[in-house]
Amino acid sequence: MLMKRSWCYRIWLLVGMLSLSVLAQENKLTIRADQTGPVISKYIYGHFSEHLGRCCYEGYWVGEDSAIPNVRGIRSDVVEALKDIQCPVIRWPGGCFADEYHWREGIGPRDQRKPMLNTHWGMVVENNHFGTHEFMDLCEQIGCDAYISGNVGSGTVEEMQDWVEYLNFGGDSEMANLRRANGRDEPWKVKFFGVGNENWGCGGNMTAEYYSDLFKRYATYVKDYPGSRVTKVACGPGDVNYNWMDVCMKNIGGRMNAISMHWYVFSGDWGNKGEATRFSEQQWFGVLEKTVEVDGAIKRYKEIMDRYDSRKRIGLFIDEYGTWWNAEPGSTPGFLYQQNTLRDAVVAGVFLNIFNAHADRVRMANIAQTNNVLQAMILTDGPRMMLTPTYHLFRMYNGHHDGRAVAFDLSCAKYEVDGKALDTVSASVSKNAAGEITISLVNLDPKNAVELSCEIEGGRYGQCSGEVLTSNAMNTHNTFERPDAISPTAFKDFKLKENMLSVTLPSKSVVVLTLK
C-alpha cells in the first residue's frame, strides 16, 4: 500500500511538473533579429482630420486674432503635440465632407470666401476660413505630408485637375498664378491624392463598376507635374466588401497607386455603439474582438490584390479606422465628440501591431480623427488642451517608424469571456537603421498580468529600456481637470540576460521595449 502511494505521488508530481512546464511555455515570444522583412512605413502612423465638429475649427484653426497662442491662426500647442509624436501625414478635408467640398471656396481673402452648409455633420455653416493654404501651412508647421481627398461625388473632373495644378505646378499657368496671387509662390508638391471617398456610401452611393470607370476618368487628370509625383488613391471598401475590392482591382489595376479601406469598431451596433467611459468587461472584449477581425479582412483583401498585382505595386491605405462611441452627453451629436480611455489605447495598439504585420501591403493608415472627434489624439476646450491615452500610445510606437519588420513567433494563453477567446498578447517587432529593436506588446486581459518569456535569436543585445501605459481601471481617462490621470511611465518589470528576456505585462496594458 505504501509503495502504491509512492508511485501515485510520483505520477502526480510528474504531471504537476509537466503542467508547470506547459504553463511556463504558454506565453513565449521568439524574435529572429537577423530575419527582417518589409519596411513598416511611418505613414502607418498617420492621421485623419475632417471638417467635422471641432476637429479643424478650434482643434487647429483659432484665427490670427485669437488669444490662444497661434502662428498665422493655427494653434501652437496642437502643432507642438503633433510634432512630438512625429506625425507623418494628415488626410484632409474628409471623409464624407470631401465629396461636397469645393476647394475654390476655401482660397483667397477669408472675408470674401463663400460659406457652405456642412450637410453631413450637424448642418452647420462652414465659413471656409480653414482652406487649402491654411491646411498646407499646418502641415508645414508640423513637418508632415498632406494627403488630399478629392471630390468625386459632387465635383467635376476640371475641378479636381485644377486643384492638383494649384497645389503642385511650379511653372506659369492659370492655377499656379492664382496660387501666387493668394500668397504662395512655390508649389507644395502634395504626394498623396484620394480620388473620392466612400463612394459606395456618402460619396455617391455608387456601384463598384460605376466608381471604377469614374476613377479612371478623374485620375487621368491628376497629373504628375515636374518634381511632383502623386500617389493616386482609389476609394476601396468599408469593413467587409470583398466584391468592391475585386471589381476595383480588376477594372482599375495599375492606374491607381493605392486603394483604401475603412474599419471602425464599437461595442454595440451602428444604432447604439456603446459609451466611451461606461462599459463592462463584455463590451471591452467585444470591441477587441472586432479589432482583431481586421487581420482576417486584410489577409482576404491582400489575396484579392495579389491576384491582380502579384508584384505588390499597389498599396493598401487604411485611411479611416478607430473606435466609434456614442457622442458624449451634452455634446452636439453630429460633432462625434467622445472621451478616450485606456481601452481606446489598447485597441489602437492592437490595430497598429496588425498593420505592421501586413507592411508588405499596408503602407498608410489614418486614425480618425486628430482633434475632438472619434478616437482623437487631442481634446480641446477653448484655450485648454489635453492629450488622450491614444496620443500617448502613438508616441510610444515612434520606434517602429520606417523600421524593418522582424520575424517572430508568439504563443500565448487565451483571454476568454462568455465562451469566446482571443490571444491574450498582441505583438510587433521592428529594427531601425541603427540596429535597435522595438518590441510593442499589448496585454488584452483587463484582470490578469502575463508572464512572457522572450528568446532573441540572431543578435545580442545588452541594454533594454521600456515604457508602459496602464491603469487600475479599464475606463481611466484624462480630463481637463486631471490631464495626467493616465500617461506612460518607465517600465522596469523585465530581466535581460544574454539572449533571454523575461517580461511581466500588467493587466490591460501596452508595453514598448527598446533593445540595444
CA distance 267 to 273: 6
8 A C-beta contact, residue 189 and residue 228: yes
Pick from 508, 470, 494: nearest CA to 29: 494
Instruction: Note if 198 is an active site residue.
Output: yes
Pick from 138, 116, 111, 112: nearest CA to 56: 138
> What is the DSSP pairing of strand 89-92 with strand 46-48?
parallel
Measure the CA angle with vertex 94, ends 90 and 96; round to 5°: 155
Q: Is the peptide bond before 187 cis (omega within 30 degrees of 0)?
A: no
Q: Which residue has the cell 477669408?
A: 110
Pick from 46, 18, 17: nearest CA to 363: 46
Q: How buried is 447 (Cβ within 10 angstroms: 0-12 exposed, 13-18 middle, 19+ buried)?
A: exposed
CA–centroid distance for 92 within its chain? 14
Cell (9 digits) for 405: 519588420
Sign of torsion over alpha carbons 150, 151, 153, 158:
negative
CA-to-CA separations, 450 to 193, 292, 425, in angstroms, rounded: 43, 19, 8
Q: CA gyration radius for the chain?
A: 25
Cell (9 digits) for 489: 511611465
Strand (E) or helix (H) holding 118: strand 116-118
Pick from 75, 48, 46: nearest CA to 59: 75
CA distance 86 to 287: 27
Q: Which residue has the cell 519596411?
A: 39
Q: What is the DSSP string of 68-113?
A: S-EETTEEHHHHHHHHHTT--EEEES-SGGGGG--GGGGSS-GGGS
Q: Which residue has the cell 501591403?
A: 361
CA distance 433 to 431: 7
> How many Cβ atoms from other residues are within 10 Å of residue 3's Cβ?
7
CA distance 348 to 326: 18
Catalytic choice (320, 328, 436, 451):
320
Per the document, the length of the chain is 516
Instruction: Note if 320 is an active site residue.
Output: yes
Catalytic choice (174, 198, 455, 481):
198
CA distance 61 to 94: 16
Sign of torsion over alpha carbons 479, 482, 484, 487:
negative
| Catalytic (active-site) positions | 198, 320
